[in-house]
């Protein structure tokens, strides 16, 4: 069994508990970040790792949104939210972030929220995002990453083997460097919470592609 399949199995098992597990963080932080960074977006949007669909209620009704996830059980929860929302402009598909079944230069925006901690090959996933973004498009990521604070970083390194085994989540990834290694240009890097653990990244294609 490859890494993607193992990670999918973990998220299938976690799907029924996922929203309850994240309830406090959603109330404290994520709801306001979704409202601020995702709600204003227009055009054609791809959400990579839509999970249980927490962003569904925030998307503009005039945007064209496709949400993908590799876990069928997480998508079941997202479909429940989509039906309750009554929105007709959002489509859900099962798909792997490392193999996006879309044409080059297809999307105005790609968004993620705490997804690239669990993509087995994050650079491969980011390269796929770069490929399907329009030349003028933007990648908007809300992610938890390895802190520059030595104490926080040590805590993340110590706990990472446990979170990786239980949830398939890496809490010590250098997502900023992964974006750069995927040949994308970071246009905004903002600390959001827990000093610099939760971060906003906005990126675009490199200047030679844009």
3-state class (DSSP) for residue 157: helix
Report field, pTM of the whole predicted structure over 0.85: yes
On whether the CB atoms of residues 154 and 126 are closer than 8 A, the answer is no
Q: How far apart are CA 201 and CA 179, in angstroms?
A: 9
Query: What range defines the domain where residue 194 resides?
Result: 3-205
With respect to residue 130, please indicate whether it lies within any of the assigned structural domains: yes
With respect to residue 180, please indicate whether it lies within any of the assigned structural domains: yes
With respect to residue 210, please indicate whether it lies within any of the assigned structural domains: no
With respect to residue 90, please indicate whether it lies within any of the assigned structural domains: yes
On whether the CB atoms of residues 99 and 81 are closer than 8 A, the answer is no
With respect to residue 76, please indicate whether it lies within any of the assigned structural domains: yes
Tell me the average confidence (pLDDT) per consecutive run of 10 residues in the chain, 210 residues long. Answer: 85 92 95 98 98 98 97 97 97 97 98 96 98 98 97 97 90 97 97 97 80
3-state class (DSSP) for residue 170: coil
Q: How far apart are CA 56 and CA 11, in angstroms?
A: 19
Q: How many domains does the chain fold into?
A: 1
Q: Which CATH number fits the domain that encloses residue 31? A: 3.40.50.150
Nearest-Å Rg of the Cα atoms of the chain is 16
With respect to residue 117, please indicate whether it lies within any of the assigned structural domains: yes
With respect to residue 95, please indicate whether it lies within any of the assigned structural domains: yes
């Amino acid at each position: 069994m490859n890494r993607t399949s193992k990670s999918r199995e973990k998220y299938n098992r976690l799907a029924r508990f996922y929203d309850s597990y994240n309830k406090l963080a959603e109330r404290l932080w994520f709801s306001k970040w979704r409202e601020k960074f995702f709600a204003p977006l227009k055009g054609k949007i791809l959400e990579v790792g839509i999970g249980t669909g927490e962003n569904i209620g925030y998307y503009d009704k005039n945007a064209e949104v496709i949400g993908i996830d590799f876990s069928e059980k997480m998508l079941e929860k997202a479909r429940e939210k989509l039906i309750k929302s009554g929105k007709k402009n959002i489509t859900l598909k099962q798909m792997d972030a490392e193999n996006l079944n879309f044409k080059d230069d297809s999307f105005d925006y790609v968004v993620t929220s705490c997804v690239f901690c669990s993509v087995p090959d994050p650079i491969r996933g980011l390269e796929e995002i770069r490929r399907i973004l329009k030349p003028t498009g933007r990648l908007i990521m809300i992610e938890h990453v390895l802190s520059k604070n030595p104490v926080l970083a040590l805590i993340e390194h110590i706990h990472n083997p446990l979170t990786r085994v239980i949830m398939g989540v890496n809490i010590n990834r250098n997502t900023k460097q992964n974006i750069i290694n995927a040949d994308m240009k970071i246009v905004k890097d903002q600390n959001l919470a827990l000093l610099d653990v939760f971060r906003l990244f906005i990126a675009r294609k490199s200047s030679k592609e844009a």
